[in-house]
Amino acid sequence: MKVGIDMGATNAGSAATLDLEELLATRLLVQGNSGSGKSHLLRRLIEQSAQWVQQAVIDPEGDFVTLAERFGHVVVEADEHSEAALQSVAARVRQHRVSVVLNLEGLDAEMQMRHAAAFLGGLFDADRDFWYPMLVVVDEAQLFAPSAAGEVSDEARKVSLGAMTNLMCRGRKRGLAGVIATQRLAKLAKNVAAEASNFLMGRTFLDIDMARAADLLGMERRQAEMFRDLERGHFIALGPALSRRPLPLRIGAVETQGRTGSPTLMPPPATPVADARDLIFTTTEPEPPRYVRRPSTSASADLMAQLARGRPAAPPPSTDESATEQPALLPLEPEETPEQAAEREAQYDQVLAEVLADPEAPYRSLAVLYQDFLVRCRGRGVDGDRLALPAFRRRLATARAGAGSGDDPAWQRATEVAATLAEDIQPVFLLLARAALDHAPCPSDADVARACGSRSKGRGRRLLTYMEQRGFITSRSGLGNTRAITLPALGWETALGDPNADDAADAPDEGGLFAAG
């Protein structure tokens, strides 16, 4: 079925339609100086195609996170994950066909390149069974595929450039359709730009960029001056998905807006100089709280302990009326008392228990479980958004392990060790730790598979092999084809158990992320 995406209108007043299937096969390059409407164009394309194709947006400025509420994209906060974790997230994104926005806003330039490369690598290296069509939108592509070395290390540049090259050169066979946008064509690596067959060129002023834009559109150099005269939101389109001849068009309206928006004039207040000096140099009230990203916690006890460690002892009251009042350290949620926080955490535990009570819950993706959790929280009138996705993942792993004794020092030690491991391993480690702490039989391969969201006992076996090869566990065999597993970091061992128990949970091997050796 041919799908046409409405991008706006041509200068003649007819509809400007983009052939989505052709775009998936031929890729797109968008160029325009700051203020030309480039991000608006990308947003229009993403919104119009969201119902037809899975999407991943590489967002260096955090402008596209607003897509989540209206179109259901999952926001991946890159600064909350390691590079290895992002590769695993990307693999699951392809497996479960979830549209995502990779928010790189909290990272410096080099770490943005490394994390974006890891995520793109995970998309690219996904198992062949999950090569579904996917639109990969990269804003400010010159940051990730620079034409020349900059202030970042050569290693970071090579890794990032390699990932972008794979996306544009080899991604098509894997279902990945690159849509890259840049402010400066001259700063974008030529081997990345050259792989695009569709172009949307907006306003630009530098001669070198105008010349490259004219070359890509097959125009004469003397016609390149026209790019200086383009209005905001106006582009010249060319390519098999757009038009066989250069076509001026105007991008249509969008349903969502970026968090920053365009600056508007706002005259400053007419404050006398003496009063202005007093306002900025004299402390009269507690300073407004600075923006702090809410840390992820796994239980109310952890939250209270963190606040207790971070809040200094209250100073004795001063009798000097002229003394300047020192603002106290503001809690992360100043409107919530400790009692309210504890009650909310208890509500979280009840909602999570309801989510996991569903027989299909062990086999659902993290994103689906999190959405179910948020919906159930809203039904109870609980603010579920306070529990960020990384914290939900850790709480889910603990709940799946059957851990109910959060105040047990031994179990707290187990969760601390688990936090140092890769996210995919943590649920299985906690499952084994729970069995060892309770002196229970070793979990079966089916139990291990369920802990990582699979019905395949083969995947459970491979995951245990992977963990043993890396020294996270050791296993020993007993009589009657039984086994016990030791956790060296804790010095604990499970009782002997049958690895083949629960045959009903077995299913055809589904590959998985870990393979023996």
Considering the chain, what is the average pLDDT of its residues?
Answer: 79
Of residues 288 and 218, the one with the higher pLDDT is 218
CATH of 4-251, one of 3.40.50.300, 2.40.37.10, 3.40.50.970, 3.40.50.720: 3.40.50.300
- Spatial separation of the C-alpha atoms in residues 64 and 143, rounded to whole Å: 17
Q: How confident is the model at residue 261 (pLDDT cuts 50, 70, 90)?
A: low
H-run or E-run covering 478: strand 474-478
- Residue 284: predicted pLDDT: 58
- Spatial separation of the C-alpha atoms in residues 477 and 88, rounded to whole Å: 31
- Give percent of the chain with pLDDT exceeding 90: 25
- Spatial separation of the C-alpha atoms in residues 419 and 513, rounded to whole Å: 19
Of residues 513 and 94, the one with the higher pLDDT is 94
Map out the domains of the chain as residue ranges.
Answer: 4-251, 336-400, 402-517
Q: Count the Cβ atoms, other than its own, within 10 Å of residue 446.
A: 22
* Predicted TM-score (pTM) of this structure: 0.53
Q: How confident is the model at residue 403 (pLDDT cuts 50, 70, 90)?
A: low
Find out whether 513 and 428 touch, Cβ atoms under 8 Å. no
Q: Count the Cβ atoms, other than its own, within 10 Å of residue 384.
A: 19
pLDDT tens-place string over residues 55-101: 999 999 888 998 988 898 999 999 888 899 999 999 999 999 999 99
- Determine the number of helices (DSSP H) and then strands (DSSP E) in the chain: 17, 14
Find out whether 455 and 507 touch, Cβ atoms under 8 Å. yes
pLDDT tens-place string over residues 288-330: 444 444 444 344 344 444 434 444 444 444 444 444 444 343 3
- Residue 60: predicted pLDDT: 92
User: Does 360 have pLDDT greater than 80?
Assistant: no
- Per the DSSP assignment, residues forming a β-bridge with 188 are 146
Side by side, the strands of the sheet bearing 176-182 are 15-19, 4-10, 243-251, 234-239, 198-201, 28-31, 176-182, 134-138, 54-59, 100-103, 74-77
pLDDT tens-place string over residues 159-192: 999 999 999 988 888 999 999 999 887 788 888 8
CA distances, 246 to each of 60, 175, 382 (Å)? 30, 27, 54
H-run or E-run covering 155: helix 154-165
- Spatial separation of the C-alpha atoms in residues 113 and 159, rounded to whole Å: 8
CA distances, 94 to each of 56, 121, 137, 180 (Å)? 10, 12, 15, 20
CA distances, 483 to each of 450, 475, 476 (Å)? 19, 7, 6
Q: How confident is the model at residue 117 (pLDDT cuts 50, 70, 90)?
A: very high
